[in-house]
Amino acid sequence: MAMVINEEQQMLKESAQGFLAEYAPLAEVRRQRDAGSEKGYADNLWTQMVDMGWAAILVPEAYGGLAFGHVGMGQIVEQSGRTLSASPLFATAILGVTAINHCASEGQKTELLGAIAAGQITTALAVDENIHHAPTQISTTATASGQGYLLNGNKRFVVDGSTADRLIVAARTAGDAGDSEGVSLFIVDPAIAGVEVQRTEMVDCRNYATISFNNVVVPESALLGEEGSGFAALSATLDVGNAFLAAELLGIAQETFDTTLRYLKERKQFGVLIGSFQALQHRAAHWWSEIELCKSVVLKALQALDKGDTKSPLLVSIAKAKLCEVSELATNEAIQMHGGIGMTDEYDIGFFIKRARPAAMLFGGYSYHGDRFALLSGY
């Protein structure tokens, strides 16, 4: 597959650029934060995105979707990194769709994917239980009981956990923390008895939650796929999630770069533009070169997912690791090159660093993906 995007993907990129700039710009993120919004985005934003077909991009055609692929969706997500637009796109149209599509029964797919594509439900994926991503360490339990299961445990940093209509919960039906066998996925209505959702306020002002399950009774029909073999679907979902987090971080790295480059051409000190100083030129050139590398790793990972390449996990870990590194470089350099003004809340740069770090940490940062890449490479 040639490493270029096709015309349709280019069109989607441009339409996303236009849409997000108009309806979900950074100014809106700021407005939501200042208003103390719990969701972090405008009420009708998701409806508009659904109308554009974005909820259906990863949904197969058989379930009412567009099957437009990961490279296509990546164009939107990259743009959303430039505007920092929050929306249910990630938790619902990416994580929810992928998890359900990977393991649910035909009946569940028809119902749930159809509902997502039509904008009727949003989802949240409940995986992590501790401060570091470790999907094999799941200790939340699902014990067979009567006609269904009893869920017990705590989930943390659940994206959109306090607003979603359905939770996709990874729980153990067998085995111990550390085993990949014995993990099952359940679809749970957060309104049922025993589910307690508490919003966590984080640096990016997005919507995360700690969710505790206290003897929650779910029916057998809540199980997605086969009991005990949910880890493969979970892994695949996390790979897709990480590829898109990398795409978002690429948008962040590019936007902070473009903004800083403009500043270097405006700001004068010692009677000259600061962009004329070689100390800054070389750092800007290095930063730009790193972004070029990032464009390649993100595109490669998204293409691998579209092809169903068996090397997808490896390529996703390369992409996520590299973007963790470069988004850190980008946001740090952006503040430093802006000088004092970069430290002010009034200026937008701060929003980027405050989104970049949680996006990098979510589902594993550099150390997690570097380690995974090496293990997958045999060392």
Provide the binding-site residues for other proteins, judged by CB under 8 A: 2-4, 261, 264-265, 273, 275-276, 278, 280-282, 284-286, 288-289, 292-297, 299-300, 318, 321-322, 370-371, 373-375, 377-379
Selection from 181, 79, 75, 187 nearest residue 125 by Cα: 187
Tokens for 344, please give them: 């002010």
Residue closer to other proteins by CB (options 31, 311) is 311
Helices vs strands, H then E, count in the chain? 11, 10
CB of 322: closest distance to other proteins in angstroms?
5
Cβ 313 to other proteins, closest distance in Å? 14
**Backbone dihedral angles phi then psi of residue 266, each to the nearest 5 degrees:** -115, -40
At residue 140, φ and ψ (nearest 5 deg) are -60, 135
Q: Which letter does DSSP use for residue 99 in this model?
A: H
Rounded to whole angstroms, the Cα distance separating 348 from 305 reads 33
We find the least distance from the C-beta atom of residue 299 to other proteins, in angstroms, to be 7
| Minimum CB–partner distance for residue 318 and other proteins (Å) | 5
Complex with other proteins: residue 66 or 261, whichever CB lies closer: 261
Q: In whole angstroms, what is the distance from residue 190 CA to residue 16 CA?
A: 31
Residue closer to other proteins (CB basis): 47 or 276: 276
* Shortest spacing between CB 68 and other proteins, in angstroms: 20
Query: Which CB sits closer to other proteins, 145 or 377?
Result: 377
Least distance between other proteins and beta carbon 82 (Å): 18
Min dist. Cβ of residue 272 to other proteins (A): 9
Asked if 308 contacts 60 with a C-beta cutoff of 8 angstroms, the reply is no
Nearer to other proteins, 143 or 281 (CB): 281
Closest distance to other proteins from the beta carbon of 300 (Å): 5
Q: Hey, what are 20's tokens?
A: 């997000």
Helix (H, G, I), strand (E, B) or coil at 203: coil
Cβ partners under 8 Å of residue 288, min gap 6: 257
CA angle 272, 274, 280 (to 5 degrees): 145
Task: Find out whether 224 and 331 touch, Cβ atoms under 8 Å.
Answer: no
State in angstroms the smallest separation of the CB of 219 from other proteins.
40
CB of 324 to other proteins, least distance (A): 10
Q: Report the DSSP pairing between strands 272-273 and 268-269.
A: antiparallel
Pairing of strands 207-219, 195-201: antiparallel
Closer by beta carbon to other proteins, 179 or else 189 = 179
- Local structure of residue 229 (DSSP, 8 states): B
Residue in this structure with the two tokens 């923390």, named with its chain if needed = 177
Neighbours of 47 (CB within 10 A): 12
Task: State the pairing for strand pair 123-126/166-172.
Answer: parallel
- Choice between 31 and 286, CB closer to other proteins: 286
Cα 128 from Cα 170, distance rounded (Å)? 9
Nearer residue to other proteins within complex by CB, 31 or 262: 262
What is the sign, positive or negative, of the torsion defined by CA atoms of 99, 102, 105, 106?
positive
Nearer Cβ to other proteins (158/304) = 304
The residue among 174 and 284 lying less far from other proteins, judged by its C-beta, is 284
